[in-house]
Amino acid sequence: MKKSLYFLCLFLLAGFTGLAQTKPDYNKITLAIHGGAGTITRANMTPEKEKAYRAKLEEALKTGYAVLEKGGSSLDAVEATIHVMEDSPLFNAGKGAVFTNEGKNEMDAAIMDGKTLNAGSVASVTTIKNPITAARAVMEKSEHVMMIGDGAEKFAKLHGVELVDPSYFYTETRFNQLQQIRDKEKTQLDHDGGTSSNENIFVEGKKFGTVGAVALDAYGNLAAATSTGGMTNKRYGRVGDAPIIGAGTYADNNSCAVSATGHGEYFIRAVVAHDIASLMKYKGYSVKKAAEEVVLRKLVDFGGEGGVIALDRNGNVAMPFNSAGMYRGYIKNGKPQVSIYKD
Ligand code: ASP
């Protein structure tokens, strides 16, 4: 009898401690997003275009926040948020992805769970409607972290991720951007007798537009997600920073969640997202100081254009960028804030 009472007490205590640990705190729930950085200025924007971007960014913020408000996980929130932007032709992810040099849409995406440090990513996929969902499937349903091309698509199909015909991703705007760069490429090659490096032409496109989300849920867990079509005119098989864990995407409850956008080659070499987390972890920097150190100093010295969104466990958001503009926003206490330009 005494023994059973002892076990009952133990059981109740364990239950109580468990409850205390998982008691949700809705005061800190936060979500931040970006819709790409680059040459985004008032001069090359129309009022209609700006209105459309702002509306879609707000919709994405509200969608993810609704998940968090209901006690949903930061992973569910970032995935739902990214879906809104992947499904919109305004952004360079999913529908509206940029074109490769060969006139194809090849997409990359990654997701990371700050609680477990589990991560999943896909690269160079051409038939997955929402690449972020395939990345999550890799994280949760495989023993791997990254899958590419046909293999990633086979895996996605096996796990019920929606596939579409590659023509689904076509948008006239993006196709015209490719034509413009190709024309410029031709002129440059004509001018210098064919010795010009492709790198210049590639950078001149400046058609970033990747999407990203970072979230903090009521249970204090961080998550990060990034999805992109890459860069206009990219060459066959090119993979950017977005699906590279630690470069374009990273999350760790002990530091922060980061999603990047910009010229991927530089972001990979500067290991941007992990560097920000490391400055917080090893040097005790605030999320703002760490993100600015990497984006406004290290990347600038390096010559890498772009920006990041970063979020810590207390709901502090940093969104530095070294380009002319960055589509971005965050939502706390139910109020979405959206910005585009530097000022
Ligand atoms: N970072 C992406 C890439 O290089 C491009 C972007 O952010 O728009 O693939």
Tell whether the model's pLDDT for residue 259 goes beyond 60.
yes
User: What are the structural domains of the chain?
Assistant: 25-341 (3.60.20.30)
Q: Quick check: helix, strand or coil at residue 263?
A: coil
Q: What residues contact residue 210 under an 8 Å CB cut-off, 6+ apart?
A: 34, 35, 36, 91, 92, 93, 226, 227, 228, 229, 240, 242, 248, 260, 261
Residue 123 Cα to ligand 1 midpoint, Å, equals 12
Split at pLDDT 50, 70, 90, the class of 327 is: very high
**Mean pLDDT computed over 280-307:** 97
Split at pLDDT 50, 70, 90, the class of 201 is: very low
Query: Is 238 within any annotated ligand binding site?
Result: yes
Query: Which of 47-51, 102-106, 181-185, 233-237 is least confident?
Result: 181-185
Q: Say which residue, 208 or 291, is predicted with more confidence.
A: 291
| Predicted local distance difference test score (pLDDT) of residue 315 | 98
Q: Write down the pTM of the prediction.
A: 0.90
DSSP labels, 79-133? HHHHHHHHTSTTSSSSTTPPPPTTS---EEEEEEETTT--EEEEEEESSBS-HHH
Nearest ligand 1 atom to the CA of 267 is 1
Across the chain, mean pLDDT equals: 90
Nearest CA to ligand 1 atom 5: 230
| Pocket probe mutation, ligand 1, options 34, 40, 121, 228, max atoms within 8 Å of Cβ | 228
| Residue 135 backbone zone (phi > 0: left; psi -120 to 50: alpha; other: beta) | alpha
Tell whether the model's pLDDT for residue 235 goes beyond 50.
yes
| Predicted local distance difference test score (pLDDT) of residue 186 | 65
| Predicted local distance difference test score (pLDDT) of residue 196 | 39
Query: Which of 11-15, 260-264, 279-283 is least confident?
Result: 11-15
| Pocket probe mutation, ligand 1, options 210, 232, 265, max atoms within 8 Å of Cβ | 210
Query: Which of 100-114, 147-161, 186-200, 215-229 is least confident?
Result: 186-200
**Mean pLDDT computed over 254-276:** 98
**Mean pLDDT computed over 183-205:** 50
| Residue 96 backbone zone (phi > 0: left; psi -120 to 50: alpha; other: beta) | left
Tokens of 31: 């979500």
Tell whether the model's pLDDT for residue 204 goes beyond 90.
no
Tell whether the model's pLDDT for residue 191 goes beyond 80.
no
Query: Is 261 within any annotated ligand binding site?
Result: yes
**Amino acid at residue number 214:** V
Summarised one tens digit per residue, pLDDT across range 101-152 is 999 999 999 999 999 999 999 999 999 999 999 999 999 999 999 999 999 9
| Predicted local distance difference test score (pLDDT) of residue 20 | 44
| Predicted local distance difference test score (pLDDT) of residue 4 | 64
> DSSP character for 294?
I
